[in-house]
Structure formats: C-alpha cells, structure tokens
Amino acid sequence: MLLHIPQVLTAEEVAVFRQKLDTADWADGRETVGHQGAKVKRNEQLADTSPLKAELGQAVLNALQRSHLFFAAALPHKVLPPRFNRYTGGGEYGFHVDGAVMNRGGEDYLRSDVSCTLFLNDPEDYEGGRLVISDTYGEHTVAKPAGDAILYPSSSLHRVEPVTHGARIASFFWIQSLVRDDSQRRTLFELDTAIQKLTLDEADQDALLQLTGVYHNLLRSWVET
C-alpha cells in the first residue's frame, strides 16, 4: 500500500529541522548499506553516531505519535530510529529493495515491512530527486511538500532520481508492523477508515459496533507480536 500522510511535521517544526540540518556535518551515505546498495547509492547522510541524528530522530518519532493516519496504516510494532539524507550535485540512489532485517542496536533486530520517507523541503527547492516506486501497477513518482510523508511496502523496488539542481533533504526509516502482510494491512486500513467516516456521519450505532468488532477480530487473527 502506497499512502501519502500530510503534515507529519508542522511548518514551524520543518523550519527548525532545516536550520539544524543546513549546518550539519554530512557523511557518505554508502556507509549504511551493503555491497549491492553501495553500487547504486550516491548521497549524504547524518552519521549514525551523530547527536543531531538522535535529537531529530526522536522529534520525528514524537511527531508520528500525533498521526492517526500513520498508526492506522503502518500498525507499528518497532520503528528503526529515523535517519536523514541529502541529495545534491547529481546524487541519486538507483533501483534497490530495502534490507529485510535491520539492527536497532545490540541484539534488537527489526523486520522491515513498511518504508517511510519524510520530506524536509519542498519539490520546488530542487530538480529531480523524485522517489520512484515500482510495483505490479507500474512506476509511481513521488515528491511531497515539506513535512509530508509517504509510506510504501519495504519489499518494493524503488529509487531516487538524480538531483540536478538544489538539494533534496529527507528523513527515512523502516517499520516492523504488527501485521506482516501488506494486503492484510490494507484491508484493516480501509476498514478503519470506513469506521471513522461512519462515526463522523453518525451512522447506526449497532452497525458501527459490529464493524468495529470485525476490525478487531481480524487484527487479532493477523497480528504478530
């Protein structure tokens, strides 16, 4: 499921992020990928040991707590601490699939079910740099306003187009979902969305109760902890 989540960060929060990132020390992005990824990746990242990465990453996690849409779609069990990257001067990331298992530190591992990119500047600030996600329906090109996020299955083949002018700055991270299967997550998300709309429309309460029961019983059947 490919999903746009608007305004994860407020304009004020984006401004604070940008002020700090514009003076940050950036490292070679190939330091955090394996041999195959290093062949097609050309960008910069905040080092995993960077105090600024930890500070801003926690701010991203705090902001996600406000987003019902994020939780309804991702059903997060574990989230990899957010990272930050910058593409400039022709930087790009060729087609790849994200690693299936990632280390959160020590012996704490995460299965990557859902990938998330949180845009930290507007598409008008740079040329190129579109996120291209390929699935059975073709290729989807994504560029969203600063503060918005895009969710997509980590199993998707995807790339970032070369940035030919300006700089593209974003946060990115992975989620291990309570529900591993993407089609099951989609079903739960669509059901939850319908329940929320019917609630606002003051639909029949008995029918809403029944639908809510169906949602939770499906979740109970599919959840992994």
Distance CA 163, CA 86 (A): 10
| 35, pLDDT greater than 80 | no
Q: At what angle do helices 51-64 and 11-21 cross, to 10 degrees?
A: 170
32 and 59: one domain? yes
Residue 199 confidence class, pLDDT cut points 50, 70, 90? very high
Rg (CA), the chain: 18
Domain-terminating residue out of 155, 177, 199: 177
Share of the chain above pLDDT 70, in %: 99
Domain count, the chain: 2
Can you give the residue range of the structural domain that contains 196? 182-222
149 and 210: one domain? no
Distance CA 80, CA 172 (A): 9
Question: What pLDDT sits at residue 32?
Answer: 74
* pTM summary value: 0.95
157 and 189: one domain? no
Which are the contacts of 71, defined by CB distance < 8 A and separation ≥ 6?
64
76 and 60: one domain? yes
Share of the chain above pLDDT 90, in %: 93
* CATH assignment of the domain containing 99: 2.60.120.620
13 and 73: one domain? yes
Residue 87 near residue 181, CB atoms below 8 Å: no
163 and 218: one domain? no
